[in-house]
Amino acid sequence: MDQEEPETGDLVAGVVVTRRFDQIDAQWAILGPLLLVARRSGRPSKWTKRQLIDGLRWRVRTGSPWRDVPACYGSWQAVYGFGRGQCNGVWARILAGLQTPARRRSG
In tens, the pLDDT along 17-62 reads 567 778 888 888 888 888 767 666 778 778 888 898 899 989 989 9
Query: What's the pLDDT score for residue 38?
Result: 65
pLDDT band with cut points at 50, 70 and 90 for residue 8: very low
In a domain, 12, yes or no: no
Number of folded domains that form the chain: 1
In a domain, 61, yes or no: yes
Residues whose CB falls within 8 Å of the CB of residue 88, separated by 6 or more in sequence, listed in order: 36
Q: Provide Rg for the chain, Cα atoms.
A: 17
In a domain, 1, yes or no: no
Computed from CA positions of residues 48, 53, 57, 62, in that sequence, does the dihedral angle turn out positive or negative?
A: positive
In a domain, 55, yes or no: yes
